[in-house]
Amino acid sequence: MNIMIIGGVAAGTKAAAKLKRQDRNLNVTVYTKSSDISYAGCGLPYYVGGEIASREELIVNSPEKFTALTGAVVRTGMEAVKVEPNTKTVTFHNLKNGAEETEKYDQLILAVGADAVVPKITGAGLEGVFTMRTPSDAVGLREYIKENSCRSAVVAGAGFIGLEIAENLMAQGLQVTVVDMADQVMPNLFDVEMADYIRRQLQERGLRIVTGAALEEIVGEQRASGIRTSVSSINCDVVILALGVRPATEFLEDTGIAMDRGTILVDKYQKTNVEDIYAVGDCAQVYNRITGKGQWSAMGSTANITGRCLAKNLTGEKAEYGGCMGTGVVRMAKDLNAGRTGLTEEQAKTAGFDAVSVTCVSDDKAHYYPDASSFVTKLVADRQSRKILGIQVVGAGEVDKMVDIAVTGIALNAKVDDFDTLDFAYAPPFSTAIHPFVQACYILENKMSGAFETFTPAEYAAGAAKGYQVIDVLPQPGIPGAKWVDLGKVNGPVEGLNLEDKLMLVCARGKRGYFLQNRLKAFGYTNTRVLEGGITVNRVKVPSAGGKLTPEEIKRVKGLGCLQDKRYPDVFNVRVITRNGKITAQEQRDIAEAAERFGSGAVTMTTRLTLEIQGVHYDDIPELLSYLKERGLDTGGTGSLVRPVVSCKGTTCQYGLLDSFDLSEKLHERFYLGYHGVTLPHKFKIAVGGCPNNCVKPDLNDLGIVGQRIPMVNYSKCRGCAKCQVEQNCPIHAAKMQDGKIFIDPQICNHCGRCKERCPFGALEEFKDGYKVYIGGRWGKKIANGRPLSKIFTTEEEVFDVVEKAILLFRDEGLSGERFADTIARLGFNYVEDKLLHSEVNKEAVLKKTVKGGASC
């Protein structure tokens, strides 16, 4: 029996290996277009991120090794171009010598897989545009990033592969933007509220996400420099297309093999409609185990399973494929994983089920164990049969264990109640005493019985809670504008709440809300709902009563960069952080659009070179912040923290001693962003000046950096001219002729560099460039001029080191409410200077301290 297999990755090699194990007498030959076989396609993103060190680690087997292990023959570089079912022949194009070869088969297995989708748009063929399908793709991307010192990337596609590659690009230090034409991440994989939770979590970790944006063009001349979408343009150094895959079956169109949108139709035994032709893997359509309908499952797991089943079917055994469930798991960050299987709630309803769901938050292991975290779980079931239909899980831990339990349950037609008493493994490092999956089942059972009456996150987002009073059930008051109820003291009707009032009970996860609901029902309350997932999953907003906000809420909003317009009770100006005043043209447009949508339409510039969107109503703040975040823009710049760094335009003035923009951007990243969660005794402002003109007043900041150009006079070239050009051109008269030679008074010279090359004989051609650092300045109610440290710093790293020492010293030895200038005055300048220039700082110990900030704005 001559069995020909076209395709040598997952399904093809699995079928070949199993066929030879089943029957050593079979003649099995694998033909593949690639030079590689059996490579780890799912590992490609992790090669890009560096976790997989070498290309060789991605290759599971070489052709030679595979033949030695299995006995199947492998022919690489063979592209199938035509299949003739009548003559049972396949024509190949030999990529090594260009010849065409025709081979006969008795049985043919099509395992040709799928190709990455590359849209037909301008720029798709530019250098710096990559897909992520083969080892060569991953190798090429990693090398391109290194060789071109890439700092930013755009990933088109927010599915599994897109988010995996985004994580690994961020691990390489790139700023990453993910765009998708759908209105959510993970479209068709997660329900919208779970996808929204994932999006917020990723954005908090620094990933920029733009949804509802169709890719229209890749911009660039020779290489990619950005993209244009249906909503905006984004600059970047490299573009990765993760838009999905399509079956590589174009060469089969005239064979008579039945296909649906390019996928080969097969029965439960992988047989096509053509005699002796079978199909497995990414090129074949399987079926959904729950609905029984055809489904494409381009997954390595499906490929391996169906490849093995086919081999058994061809060798006399009966191995019916049981169907797929769309199972998948993904790591999106070091502490953020997501997994799913079965039907989403939306898919279940579309399939005709009476779907009911619950969204809950549970510990992933014993809460007291050191690395304990939580699972956000959405469990979907059929209300009438009570059978489980699907699950979606997000968390820092092993979400796959939750998904795998659901897979088993769905496959065995298990009901929610069937898990109640199952003896799952328990120990504090691994799980909770009642398994988190079982907890989700309990909660759903309570909901189906009516004991737990709720709003789902989707219902709440759609406005179902309108007219309900928000009741804060957190251990301490934490929901601005809500009435707080102390759960432990509820032993009867709650003062101020009538028995018929519509009450929405909100806590961190939903558990305390359920406990309060249970008590309130016992005391006669008839209209309570618990918000599933609490404030962990939902963004809860309490409408202000008559426009009046509490002082606590105003303080909270101010911490987000929203400053109250004192003329109104509920109108704010929102600070958009810039990189020392520099923003891109697209960011300008985005800010202007935000001002039009959410504010008065006006944008102002602050003295700290941030922008303020004017006239934003309190109720519009969450939408505005989300809109800006999606476009890579942040708000803030208030509180007892390192403030946004400002600078002059150092390279465009007459001095131009340093690239103040570049230096201030680096300082901004290291200390405004890098120290953003570090509370200080008061605000700490940093300014960079490109020359001694001090346009941005560096010496009126807590720490100021000024570019320096120190003259190094070559006296052997000084002719002692009667009319010295250096003396004539010194703007501050620090240069004078003295005893027939030029003398530059170090007590007067401000190192402006204007004397450079003024001497026609070359006495002033050499200079030492550096940085002067001022400490202890401030402006405002109590102005103080900073004093310069005695050392002139000559490298950026020296500057970064002294800035960090100053911040840590202020945190360590400053008193709450005092500015850095006050700290220096109290400790003494000489003491502080010695600390900054000559002492080591225990950064870890200083950051562990508890510090109370005193900034009021």
Show which of 221, 243, 265 is a domain's final residue: 243
> Is residue 651 over pLDDT 80?
no
Q: What's the whole-number mean pLDDT along residues 572-585?
A: 86
Residue 789: band (very low, low, confident or very high) from pLDDT cuts 50, 70, 90: very high
Q: What is the pLDDT of residue 15?
A: 97
Q: What is the mean pLDDT of the chain?
A: 92
Please give the residue that has the higher pLDDT: either 630 or 431: 431
Q: What is the pLDDT of residue 57?
A: 86
Q: What is the pLDDT of residue 544?
A: 64
- CATH code, 434: 3.30.390.30
Q: What's the whole-number mean pLDDT along residues 628-633?
A: 86
Q: What is the total count of domains within the chain?
A: 6
799 and 697 both lie in a single domain: yes
Burial profile 336-348: b = 16 or more Cβ within 10 angstroms, e = fewer: bbbbbbbbbbebb
Show which of 472, 504, 537 is a domain's final residue: 537
855 in a domain, yes or no?
A: yes
Please give the residue that has the higher pLDDT: either 549 or 509: 509
269 and 151 both lie in a single domain: no
Q: What is the pLDDT of residue 607?
A: 75
**Residue 460 — φ and ψ, nearest 5°?**
-65, -45
Strand segments, DSSP code E, in 303-415 are: 328-333, 336-342, 355-363, 374-382, 388-395
DSSP 468: P
197 and 239 both lie in a single domain: yes
- Give the tens place of pLDDT for each residue, 730-761: 988 999 998 888 999 988 898 888 888 899 99
Q: What is the pLDDT of residue 115?
A: 93
β 78-84/89-94 pair status: antiparallel
Q: What is the pLDDT of residue 267?
A: 97
124 in a domain, yes or no?
A: no
Encoded amino acid at 131, one letter: T
Domain that holds residue 360: 335-452
> Is residue 557 over pLDDT 80?
yes
Please give the residue that has the higher pLDDT: either 341 or 58: 341
- CATH code, 278: 3.50.50.60
- CATH code, 611: 3.30.70.3340
DSSP 672: I
Contact residues for 133 (Cβ-Cβ < 8 A; gap 6+): 41, 44, 115, 116, 245
Q: What is the pLDDT of residue 654?
A: 67
| Percent above pLDDT 70 for the chain | 99
23 and 86 both lie in a single domain: yes
> Is residue 511 over pLDDT 70?
yes
Q: What's the whole-number mean pLDDT along residues 116-132?
A: 96
697 and 834 both lie in a single domain: yes
β 238-241/152-156 pair status: parallel
> Is residue 547 over pLDDT 60?
no
Task: Give the residue from 395, 302, 280 showing the smallest Cα distance to 42.
Answer: 302
36 in a domain, yes or no?
A: yes
570 in a domain, yes or no?
A: yes
Q: What's the whole-number mean pLDDT along residues 146-160?
A: 95
618 in a domain, yes or no?
A: yes
380 and 520 both lie in a single domain: no
Q: What strands lie across the sheet with 294-296, from one edge to the other?
A: 259-260, 263-265, 284-287, 294-296
Interior CA angle at 211 toward 397 and 336, to 5°?
A: 10
157 and 276 both lie in a single domain: no
Please give the residue that has the higher pLDDT: either 543 or 105: 105
Contact residues for 487 (Cβ-Cβ < 8 A; gap 6+): 473, 475, 512, 515, 516, 519
- Give the tens place of pLDDT for each residue, 366-396: 989 988 999 999 999 999 999 999 999 999 9
561 and 584 both lie in a single domain: yes
148 and 287 both lie in a single domain: no
143 in a domain, yes or no?
A: yes
670 in a domain, yes or no?
A: yes
420 in a domain, yes or no?
A: yes
Q: What is the pLDDT of residue 13?
A: 96
> Is residue 77 over pLDDT 70?
yes
> Is residue 650 over pLDDT 70?
no
Residue 546: band (very low, low, confident or very high) from pLDDT cuts 50, 70, 90: low
Show which of 213, 243, 273 is a domain's final residue: 243
372 and 282 both lie in a single domain: no
**Cα gap 313→310, rounded to integer Å:** 5
Q: What is the pLDDT of residue 497?
A: 96
Lowest mean pLDDT, pick from 582-586, 769-773, 785-789: 582-586
DSSP 41: G
554: which 2 tokens? Answer: 């105003």
| Three-state secondary structure call for residue 615 | strand
| Percent above pLDDT 90 for the chain | 72
- Give the tens place of pLDDT for each residue, 798-846: 999 999 999 999 999 999 999 999 999 999 999 999 999 999 999 999 9
Q: Give me Rg for the CA atoms of the chain.
A: 33
- Give the tens place of pLDDT for each residue, 662-694: 898 899 889 998 998 899 999 999 999 888 877
Lowest mean pLDDT, pick from 450-454, 455-459, 573-577, 822-826: 573-577
- CATH code, 460: 3.40.250.10
Q: What is the pLDDT of residue 545?
A: 59
Lowest mean pLDDT, pick from 335-349, 380-394, 476-490: 476-490
Q: How far is CA 54 from CA 62, 132, 331, 431, in A?
A: 15, 16, 21, 35
Strand segments, DSSP code E, in 144-262 are: 152-156, 175-180, 208-211, 215-220, 224-229, 233-235, 238-241, 245-247, 259-260
50 and 179 both lie in a single domain: no
Q: What is the pLDDT of residue 681?
A: 95
Interior CA angle at 406 toward 417 and 192, to 5°?
A: 105
Alpha helix segments (H runs only) across 730-828:
796-813, 820-827
> Is residue 215 over pLDDT 80?
yes
566 and 615 both lie in a single domain: yes
